[in-house]
Every structure is written in C-alpha cells, then in structure tokens.
C-alpha cells in the first residue's frame, strides 16, 4: 500500500529521527493517518483514538548506535462510529503497509465527543439545546440553555443489559450565572443525561428530583478579586551561564544522568533508558517509566454519583489533556520546553507547544558536616532536574513531575489542584459522604489512585524484587537489653506473591536487585522503591470499581516483562466490567527471580474535602521515591562543588550562598 513515493518517505524519516525511541513526528502521524484512511474496508466515518510509536525491541534499542538504520512502526486504534466497530492496526512506515488490521469486539475506545463534523464546543452546544432538556430545565428555573455547562463523564459498567455494545457517557450539568463565571459553583443536582457518543444524542434524561440551584458565586480568577496582596516582593531565578543540562533531540544529560524523553496521548510523559554515569560509563537503572493508569472513585451513593469512577488515562487520555505551558507561570527559571506531536479524533496531526517543561531547582542541603574540633564546615547544596507536564481533566488539574537528584535518587510526584467536583444539596441538609463547601454545594469524598509502570533495568535486565521490613529482634543472649532491630528481606519469587501493600509500622520498602552485579563489598547492587503518602480503597470488595481498577488493591505489583502488557487496568477500561490488566496477567504465576521484570507501583491520595479547598484547591502532593541502595560504592555526590557566595540584595545582612 503506497501513499507516496517510498524513496521520499524514507528520506523524510531519516531526517526527522535520530533514535528508535523518538516520539512520532507530525509528518509520521500524518503519514499513518493517510495509510489508514486508504484502507477502504474500514469505512469513511473513522475517529482516531490512538496513534503511537510501536516501540522497537529492547535488544534493538540497547544495541543501537548513532547512524544505525532503524524502522518506524505505528500502532493505531480507530472507531467506525456509524458501524460501531473498533479496529487495531499495525503500520510500518518504511514500506507504508498495514501489517495487521483487526476488529476488536466487545470493547469501547477512550472518550471522543463529537464526530467528523463537530468539535467539542459544537457537540456541547448541540446537547444543551436538545428538546429533551427544555422541561427539566424549566422545572429548575433555568430558561437560557446557553448558560448550561455539560461535562461528559464515563458511565462505568454496572451490568445494565441495555447499555451493552453502546458507547455511552453521563452528561453532568452545571449552570453559569453569567458567561465566563465558575459554573462548578452552581451544580444542577438531580439532572443526569445519558448520552450516546456514537450518535451524539441524549438517549435518556434521568431526573432524580429538583434541588434548588446554589445561590453563591464561586469565582476565583483575578478579575473577580476585589484586591490582591501588595506585600509580595519578587523572587527571581537566574542562571547567567544557562542551565547545566544538555539536550540533543530527545536525549537529556544532566549531572551524570542520561535519559530520553517520549510522549503518548494515553500516558503523557514517558522516560526511556534512564541511567547514571559511574566510573566512566553509564549504568542503567530504568528502561521505561510512565504513568500506566489512574482512577478517581467517589464515595457518595446517591442519585448517579455512585457511577463516578473515572480512569483519566485509559478512558480519557491524560496526554491529550496536557496544557501548553506557555500559558501562565507553570515553570520557573531557565526553562527548556518540549513540543509534542498529537492528533485529533478526525485524523488531523496537531502540535501541542511547550507540553513538557524541564528546568533545574535548588533543593536545599545535599549534604553537610561541621568538624567541631577543627571548625571546618563542608556544605553542598542540592540541585534537582525537574521534568513535568500538567493536564486538565474537566474540573481537575494534575501535575506530573519526575525529579532527578545529584546523589542518584529519583522521585515521582503528582500535584493535584483545580476545582473539586461539585454537587448540589437541599438547604439545611448536612452531607454524610462529603463536605459542605458553600451553601447548598457539596464536594464528595473521593480518592485518586495512580499506577506507575517501571520497566526496571538495575545494572542490566536480570533483576529480582525483595520486600524489606524492619523487625524487632527477639530477646536473646545477643539482645539482652531488647534494643536490637534488623531488616528482613523476602524474595518476591512468583506472581502469586507479587501483590504487596505498604506497612509503615515495618518501614517497608522494596529492593530491585541485580544479584549478578556486586558492589565493592561484594553485595548485590540495588535500587529501593520507598512509599510516600499512600492509601487503600475504602470501597467494599464487591464494589464494581474494585474489579475495574483492581490495581488499587495493592501497592507493589511485579510481573515479568512482556511487551504488550502496558496498562494496569487493561487496554480498554472504558465501560469494561473489569478483570483485565494486572490480575489477568498475573494469574499465570510466572517466575520473577533474576528476570527482566516490571514493577507497577500504585499510590493514592485520600481526599476528604476541606472548606479551604473551595472554590479552587491549593495543591496537594503525593508520590514515591526510587533511591540507590548499595548501587554505588559510596556517596556519589561527594564531587559536587561548593556553592559560590552571592548576596541576595543590599538589605540582606547575612546571605552567603
């Protein structure tokens, strides 16, 4: 299947790519779309849900040298929304051929609202002027549908036979007081729209009863503030000689770290081939790291609120929700931005400017000691490399941050902000499963669970995972005074044992170890994964969400590497009843000792709303760390130079560093 001259296409690919893991370019996305559209048997009414690089094998990537030839393969998911059929395609761009085209039955693609003739704004305008809404709105005193705001939410799967095979969503409704104000301050409680996304129509209006519209504004933008603080003096971050990192295409080198930056519509930021230079060579640590899945289950059982359980990666696509970081002060300092090539559902390549931000930050003290006898003090300040992107999913904002430290440590952090999902409540009623944040406005209790897939490669591809607990030694002749405690290492040798939970009372962490690589004390080298804030779900085991998002039930999951096992809740969580992903794969009970293993780490944030979270919430933080543990022979940051003395301002009396 030839779309254009093969010779010119091959030249194009060589010009735009320097490495097999480079993300797809705009030209490659366009080429892939043309190839798919030329497949006449798929029909003309195609919506494009996925276009992503089919990554080469590890063997090919790890043996690659600059200048080596390599092929470019693309994975595509399209939906014929008229025939309601979903197809997966594998395309090779070198020969411009479709090497696989397969209809995948009984699944639904991630969210796409609209069709070939309308974008989201047109879609929303059509829905809110539907004749089925006239009477329900009038009952609530709403006569101008133009002030209506409709957010489409995944409908989940509660076994309703009439929903099978249909691509559905729930339309949750709010009303603005005036154009441009915060509609989330005025939820239309009791009104729920069941939407057919293939036909772009309301199939049912569910009316659970009229609740008065909340009376107060919830506006937060500058134009609505009567005054702002006037005593805030400027902080300026300057790097006169520029940043310390070096960027070559998608490759980044900084303070002995090296890695590659990638991006997908589903996962957002992807990091590849993370390693640290030690003794003149780069030692591998992680082959691939990315958000695998995230879910936000709510805890209110009334009306249709029990259906709130959104998979923001698998059902929405967190990467396509990314902000352009040129709009506002999202990063501070000497910034290096990365643009990403994406696509819209119609099959048009698009570019998102400044989707990824990279910069350096001062992070306090790296290490310090004062010799009290000689009076000599040695202090080193810590600097970290920050690689991040921020996504807006309806009412919420999520910031995803990778931090790299000079001592070989890594942290992953999610920052949560934006507007809490709001619901209405009758005057004088106190909510049981949420917090009253304004008169007649309730924010329901909910959780945010994130799963990060870490394809580990600690000094090579053969790794093992050990659970490490701190234990109290028994009273004995060796421990007469009962003060002794030690660590207990337990090998996670099979998948049946590979679902673990945090235990703060045991100071539990997990050690990813290479038993064939030894440090200078002849001990196996390792990196440890240490929990930060975490939580388990509070839902009953029988609840639907516990099957659909089974990855919430454990914090540490371990599997052997398999290239098509990518997403913790499976490939197609939209309207899926559950059972896919990690629990299905791990039922094989595969061996894990000294294997090419993947760690799936789940962490959660329990959000019991506060009054202070309204109308826009201050940032909440959650995440975990990945730190060397016997990987280096000594502190790898001993060679960080002292900071130069530099006073901050003429009014500062003692400012040394």
Percent of the chain with pLDDT over 90: 90
Give the whole-angstrom CA distance, residue 527 versus residue 597.
14
Q: Residue range 146-161: average pLDDT?
A: 95
Inter-helix orientation angle 26-37/6-16, to 10°: 150
Give the whole-angstrom CA distance, residue 529 versus residue 375.
37
Q: How far is CA 175 from the centre of its chain?
A: 30
Q: Residue range 169-179: average pLDDT?
A: 95
Give the whole-angstrom CA distance, residue 619 versus residue 602.
20
CATH number for the region 6-103 comes to: 3.10.450.40
What pLDDT does residue 8 have?
34
pTM for the structure as a whole: 0.95
pLDDT tens, residue by residue, 500-545: 999 999 999 999 999 999 999 999 999 999 999 999 999 999 999 9
Give the whole-angstrom CA distance, residue 253 versus residue 639.
17
pLDDT tens, residue by residue, 435-459: 999 999 999 999 999 999 999 999 9
Enclosing H/E stretch for 243: none
Percent of the chain with pLDDT over 70: 95
3-state secondary structure of 266: coil
> Which residues are paired to 359 by β-bridges?
386
**Is 230 within 8 Å of 454 (Cβ atoms)?**
no
pLDDT tens, residue by residue, 252-281: 999 999 999 999 999 999 999 999 999 999
Two tokens at 235? Answer: 């902080």
Give the whole-angstrom CA distance, residue 111 versus residue 114.
10
With b for 16 or more beta-carbon neighbours within 10 A and e for fewer, the 199-226 pattern comes to ebebeebeeeebbebbeeebbeeeeeee
Short-list 152, 154, 143, CA closest to 213 = 143
Categorize the per-residue pLDDT at 236 as very low, low, confident or very high, splitting at 50, 70 and 90: confident
Kindly list the strands in the beta sheet with 422-424, ordered across the sheet, starting from the edge strand earlier in the chain: 422-424, 441-444, 434-438
Q: On the CB side of 409, how many CA atoms lie within 13 Å of its CA?
A: 16
**Is 13 within 8 Å of 93 (Cβ atoms)?**
yes
DSSP E strands, 439-562: 441-444, 446-456, 464-472, 485-491, 499-500, 509-518, 524-531, 556-560
Give the whole-angstrom CA distance, residue 657 versus residue 300.
51
The catalytically annotated residue of 115, 181, 304, 312 is 312
Same topology between domain 6-103 and domain 120-224: yes
Report how far apart, in Å, the C-alpha atoms of 254 and of each of 43, 274, 442, 496, 636 are.
Answer: 49, 11, 46, 39, 14
Two tokens at 198? Answer: 């293939």
pLDDT tens, residue by residue, 53-100: 999 999 999 999 999 999 999 999 999 999 999 999 999 999 999 999
Q: Is 312 a catalytic residue?
A: yes
Q: Residue range 490-504: average pLDDT?
A: 98
Give the whole-angstrom CA distance, residue 339 versus residue 353.
5
Residues in the chain: 657
The domain limits of the chain are: 6-103, 120-224, 249-461+513-628
What pLDDT does residue 3 have?
36
Q: Residue range 544-558: average pLDDT?
A: 98
Mean pLDDT of the chain: 94
Short-list 361, 353, 319, 318, CA closest to 337 = 353
pLDDT tens, residue by residue, 348-375: 999 999 999 999 999 999 999 999 999 9
Give the whole-angstrom CA distance, residue 95 versus residue 93.
6
Q: Are strands 377-393 and 349-370 parallel, antiparallel or unpaired?
A: antiparallel
Q: Are strands 446-456 and 441-444 parallel, antiparallel or unpaired?
A: unpaired
pLDDT tens, residue by residue, 24-39: 999 999 999 999 999 8
**Is 89 within 8 Å of 98 (Cβ atoms)?**
yes
Give the whole-angstrom CA distance, residue 18 versus residue 20.
7
Q: Is 396 a catalytic residue?
A: yes
Fold of 120-224: Nuclear Transport Factor 2; Chain: A, (3.10.450)
What pLDDT does residue 119 have?
81
Give the whole-angstrom CA distance, residue 26 versus residue 33.
11
3-state secondary structure of 338: strand
Short-list 632, 566, 596, 499, CA closest to 287 = 596
Give the whole-angstrom CA distance, residue 243 versus residue 40.
51
pLDDT of residue 133 exceeding 60, the answer is: yes
Neighbours of 395 (CB within 10 A): 17
CATH number for the region 249-461+513-628 comes to: 2.70.98.20
Q: Residue 612 carries which DSSP code?
A: G
Short-list 412, 404, 407, CA closest to 360 = 404
Give the whole-angstrom CA distance, residue 365 versus residue 385.
15
Categorize the per-residue pLDDT at 645 as very low, low, confident or very high, splitting at 50, 70 and 90: low
What pLDDT does residue 651 have?
57
The catalytically annotated residue of 184, 263, 276, 396 is 396
């Amino acid at each position: 299947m030839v779309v254009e001259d093969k010779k010119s296409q091959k030249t194009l690919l060589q010009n735009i790519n320097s490495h097999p893991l480079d993300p797809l370019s705009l030209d490659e996305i366009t080429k892939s779309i043309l190839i798919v559209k030329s497949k006449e048997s798929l029909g003309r009414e195609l919506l494009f849900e996925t276009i992503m690089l089919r990554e080469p094998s590890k063997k090919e990537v790890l043996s690659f040298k600059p200048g080596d030839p390599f092929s470019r393969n693309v994975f595509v998911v399209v939906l014929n929304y008229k025939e309601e059929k979903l197809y997966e395609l594998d395309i090779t761009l070198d020969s411009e051929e479709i090497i696989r085209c397969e209809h995948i039955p009984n699944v639904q693609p991630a969210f796409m609202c609209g069709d070939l003739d309308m974008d989201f704004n047109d879609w929303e305008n059509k829905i809110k002027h539907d004749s089925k809404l006239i009477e329900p709105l009038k009952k609530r005193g709403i006569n101008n549908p133009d002030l209506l705001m409709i957010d489409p939410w995944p409908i989940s799967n509660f076994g309703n036979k009439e929903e099978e095979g249909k691509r559905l969503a729930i339309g949750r409704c709010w009303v603005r007081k005036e154009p441009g104000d915060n509609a989330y301050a005025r939820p239309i409680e009791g009104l729920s729209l069941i939407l057919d996304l293939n036909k772009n129509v309301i199939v049912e209006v569910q009316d659970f009863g009229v609740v008065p519209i909340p009376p107060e504004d919830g506006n937060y933008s500058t134009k609505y503030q009567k005054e702002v603080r006037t005593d805030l003096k400027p902080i300026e971050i300057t790097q006169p000689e520029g940043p310390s990192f070096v960027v070559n295409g998608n490759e980044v080198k900084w303070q002995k770290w090296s890695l590659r930056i990638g991006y997908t519509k589903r996962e957002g930021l992807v990091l590849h081939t993370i390693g640290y230079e030690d003794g003149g060579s780069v030692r591998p640590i992680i082959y691939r790291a990315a958000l695998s899945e995230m879910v936000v289950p709510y805890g209110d059982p009334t009306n249709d609120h029990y259906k709130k359980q959104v998979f923001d990666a698998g059902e929405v696509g967190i990467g396509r929700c990314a902000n352009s970081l040129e709009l506002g002060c999202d990063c501070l300092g000497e910034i290096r931005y990365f643009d990403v090539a994406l696509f819209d559902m119609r099959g048009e390549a698009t570019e998102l400017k400044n989707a990824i931000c990279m910069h350096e930050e001062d992070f306090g003290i790296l290490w310090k000691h004062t010799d009290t006898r000689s009076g000599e003090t040695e202090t080193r300040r810590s600097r970290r490399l920050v690689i991040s992107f921020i996504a807006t999913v309806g009412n919420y904002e999520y910031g995803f941050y990778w931090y790299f430290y000079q001592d070989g440590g890594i942290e992953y952090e999610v920052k949560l902000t934006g507007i809490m999902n709001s619901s209405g409540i009758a005057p004088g009623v106190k909510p049981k499963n949420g917090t009253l944040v304004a008169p007649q406005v309730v924010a329901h209790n909910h959780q945010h669970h994130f799963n990060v897939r870490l394809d580990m490669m600690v000094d090579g591809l053969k790794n093992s995972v050990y659970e490490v607990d701190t234990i109290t030694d028994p009273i004995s002749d060796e421990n007469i005074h009962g003060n002794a405690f030690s660590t207990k290492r337990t090998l996670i040798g099979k998948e049946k044992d590979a679902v673990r939970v945090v235990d703060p009372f045991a100071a539990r962490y997990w050690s990813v170890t290479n038993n064939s690589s030894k440090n200078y004390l002849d001990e196996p080298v390792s990196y440890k994964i240490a929990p930060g804030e975490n939580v388990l779900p509070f839902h009953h085991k029988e609840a639907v969400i516990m099957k659909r998002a089974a990855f919430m039930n454990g914090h540490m999951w371990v599997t052997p590497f398999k290239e098509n096992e990518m997403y913790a809740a499976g490939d197609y969580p939209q309207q899926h009843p559950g059972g896919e992903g990690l629990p299905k794969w791990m039922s094989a009970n595969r061996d894990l000792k000294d294997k090419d293993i993947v760690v799936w780490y789940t962490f959660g944030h329990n959000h019991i709303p506060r009054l202070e979270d309204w109308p826009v919430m201050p940032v909440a933080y959650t995440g975990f760390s990945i730190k060397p543990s016997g990987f280096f022979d000594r502190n790898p940051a001993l060679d960080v130079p002292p900071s130069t003395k530099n006073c901050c301002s003429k009014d500062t009396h003692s400012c040394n560093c």
